[in-house]
Homo-oligomer: A and B are copies of this chain.
Amino acid sequence: MMTKTSVQPLLVNYKTLEEFKRFKEYGNQELTMLEDLESNIVENDSESPFFGVYFGNALVARMSLYRVQAKYDNYFLPPQDYLELWKLEVLPDHRNQGYGKALVDFAKSFNLPIKTNPRIKSHSFWEKMSFQKAHYDVGRDLGENPLIWLPSGVEEREV
């Protein structure tokens, strides 16, 4: 029997922030969350932009997801709120179990367009997830290689 992978919102607390250290893409975002928690700027168990998959009690996959407001949308037609997805990562021992796909499917379930700036060498994964390359525009994309996912009725904006 197949078990459905459960994707959960991750709350800001010391346990989660400790688990984040096991992921490669650990940076200012996590450090700022930790500082905010330590200095009581955010409460324990407050919301974070992260979603994750647990295997038993261990966080084994995660992504960060942020809703960008329509007024900042330079990618889609008509201009609209969209999701920026980043830090999608599955820990090495837990790959090829469909966790990455479960996270992306969760993001798609909002039925908003999605933009991501993939890590080098992950393009075949994103292609399987039906993401496409946005037409590159230096003034908009600078150092990014944006990939986008278009729900039905949404087009890429011409640059």
> Footprint of B on A, CB under 8 Å?
24-25, 27-29, 31-32, 49, 64, 66, 84, 86-87, 117, 120, 133-136, 138-139, 141-146
CA of A73 to CA of B25 in the docked complex: distance in angstroms? Answer: 26
For A138, the chain B residues whose CB sits under 8 A away are 29, 49, 66
For A28, the chain B residues whose CB sits under 8 A away are 133-134, 136, 141, 144-146
- B142:A84 contact, CB within 8 angstroms: yes
For A117, the chain B residues whose CB sits under 8 A away are 143
For A134, the chain B residues whose CB sits under 8 A away are 28
CA of A120 to CA of B120 in the docked complex: distance in angstroms? Answer: 12
Interchain nearest-CB distance for A131 vs B (Å): 13
The closest CB in chain B to the CB of A28 belongs to B136
For A49, the chain B residues whose CB sits under 8 A away are 138
For A139, the chain B residues whose CB sits under 8 A away are 66
CA of A49 to CA of B146 in the docked complex: distance in angstroms? Answer: 18
Interchain nearest-CB distance for A76 vs B (Å): 16
Interchain nearest-CB distance for A21 vs B (Å): 14
The one of B27, B64, B136 that contacts A29, using a Cβ cutoff of 8 Å:
B136
Ranked 5 nearest A-B pairs via Cβ: A86-B143, A28-B136, A27-B145, A32-B136, A28-B145
